[in-house]
Amino acid sequence: MNTLTVMLQTEYDINPIQIQSKQGGWASLAFEIKADEAVYFLKVYEKSRASTPKLTALIDQYVPIVEWIERNSNLKGRIPVPMQTREGNYKCDDEENIYLLYPFINGQTIGEWDLTERQTEELAHIIAVLHSFDEEIPFPTEALIEDFEVPFIRELEKVLDYREEDVPEELHLFLRENRERINKWISSVKELSTKLKSFSLNRVLCHTDLHHWNLMQAENLLLIDWEGLKLAPAEADMMFLTSEPYFMTFMKVYRQYHKNYHINEEAITFYQLKRRLEDIWEFIEQLLYEKVSTKDKDEIIGYLKGLTEHEK
Ligand SMILES: Nc1ncnc2c1ncn2[C@@H]1O[C@H](COP(=O)(O)OP(=O)(O)O)[C@@H](O)[C@H]1O
Ligand SMILES: [Mg+2]
């Protein structure tokens, strides 16, 4: 019997009839699991991936909050909650992987598609409700509080200071072209980080990864992939939306819930630069520390070039 079958039986009491590999996200593998009683979506984080520890560290902190929000707001059916194992845990693991199991969402990932007006309004509703929760929620939140630290910057700076023989050729060529620009962004992020630490911005629950690959249309619009849940200024979410063509429509609905909300531009810039640098760092990390095929290497360099095309 294969490992997944055994894991599903022992941890979840589920007897799979069919296990099918699916297109996952950037960070995880995915499987559709058919069983007699239901269909499930299994998310698999490989322990060999450099990004896994960071992405899975807070599962036990954030999942109970997501579950609680789903129950205690009108977001029922709009956010997927991982299933509990026999022992009542939201994840389980073996030598190789960390697993999360969800009810399968029978729907379409938005991905490359634009949002319709209806979808925009639904998204605005989800985010506005999410942002109505703050540190008053009945859970320990220390681990989720935004501190405006940018922990990966140290490592990124070290790599930018590399010796040529220590990095793969294609990374060297990329860094030669882009090092100056990346260093400029690092300085700006550090400056903004210091500044934001001294402001007392309101913190609310934020998803922090609001792109269209984390939106699915089933009976209604669903927001998935809650690993980034944080107590942070609303800009941690707004930064994904300000340049969208539907931003005005979004804000019209959002302001019905948050009348006095004003965007803090410095917080938006901080999050946008931080995200760009983090993406750059994660791709560099993959090139440096993971086994990647030549084809994947070219793809990663392509992404890196796309990320450094910004002027500011
Ligand atoms: N419960 C689900 N049912 C069906 N498909 C899903 C489900 N959750 C995620 N997906 C699909 O898998 C993709 C990756 O899932 P996601 O949770 O975003 O993983 P990652 O953290 O790797 O980005 C999504 O873009 C979506 O297409
Ligand atoms: Mg995702």
Concatenating the DSSP letter of every residue in the chain gives --HHHHHHHHHH---EEEEEEE---SS-EEEEEEESS-EEEEEEEETTSTTHHHHHTTHHHHHHHHHHHHHSSS-TTTS--PPPPTTS-S-EE-SSEEEEEEEPP-SEE-TTSPPPHHHHHHHHHHHHHHTT--TTSSS--GGGB-----THHHHHHHHHT--GGGS-HHHHHHHHHHHHHHHHHHHHHHHHHHHHHHS----EEE-----GGGEEESSSEEE---TT-EEE-THHHHTTTTTSTTHHHHHHHHHHH-TT----HHHHHHHHHHHHHHHHHHHHHHHHHS---HHHHHHHHHHHHHHT----
Can you give the pLDDT at residue 311?
A: 66
Close Cβ partners of 147 (under 8 Å, ≥ 6 residues apart): 197
Encode the chain (312 residues) as per-residue pLDDT tens digits: 699 999 999 999 999 999 999 988 888 999 999 999 999 999 999 999 988 998 999 999 999 999 999 999 999 999 999 999 999 999 999 999 999 999 999 999 999 999 999 999 999 999 999 999 999 999 999 999 999 999 999 999 998 987 777 788 899 999 999 999 999 999 999 999 999 999 999 999 999 999 999 999 999 999 999 999 999 999 999 999 999 999 999 999 999 999 999 999 999 999 999 999 999 999 999 999 888 899 999 999 999 999 999 766
Q: Report the CATH architecture of 1-104.
A: 2-Layer Sandwich (3.30)
Question: 92-93 and 97-103: which strand pairing?
Answer: antiparallel
Torsional sign, CA 253, 256, 260, 261: negative
The alpha-carbon radius of gyration of the chain (Å, integer) is 20
Residue 24 Cβ contacting ligand 1 at under 6 Å:
yes
Residue 104 Cβ contacting ligand 1 at under 6 Å:
yes
CA of 43 to the centre of ligand 2 (A): 10
Angle of helix 169-198 versus helix 294-307 axis, rounded to 10 = 40
What would the pLDDT profile of 78-120 be if each residue is shown by its tens digit?
999 999 999 999 999 999 999 999 999 999 999 999 999 999 9
CATH top class, domain 107-312? alpha beta
Residue with CA nearest ligand 1 atom 15: 25
Can you give the pLDDT at residue 232?
A: 98
Residue 289 Cβ contacting ligand 1 at under 6 Å:
no
Residue with CA nearest ligand 1 atom 12: 24
**Alpha-carbon torsion angle 256, 109, 208, 190, nearest 10:** -120
Can you give the pLDDT at residue 74?
A: 94
Q: Quick count: other Cβ atoms within 10 Å of Cβ 178?
A: 17
What would the pLDDT profile of 3-18 be if each residue is shown by its tens digit?
999 999 999 999 999 9
- Which residues have CB less than 5 Å away from ligand 2 (the ion)? 25, 214, 225
Atom of ligand 1 nearest to the CA of 104: 3
Ligand approaching nearest to the C-alpha of 23: 1
Pocket mutation for ligand 1, best pick of 51, 79, 225 (most atoms within 8 Å of C-beta)? 225
Task: Please state the domain extents for the chain.
Answer: 1-104, 107-312
Residue 26 Cβ contacting ligand 1 at under 6 Å:
yes
CA of 106 to the centre of ligand 1 (A): 11
Residue 51 Cβ contacting ligand 1 at under 6 Å:
no
**Separation of alpha carbons 281 and 300, rounded Å:** 11
Contact 153, 145 (CB under 8 A): no
Residue with CA nearest ligand 1 atom 22: 25
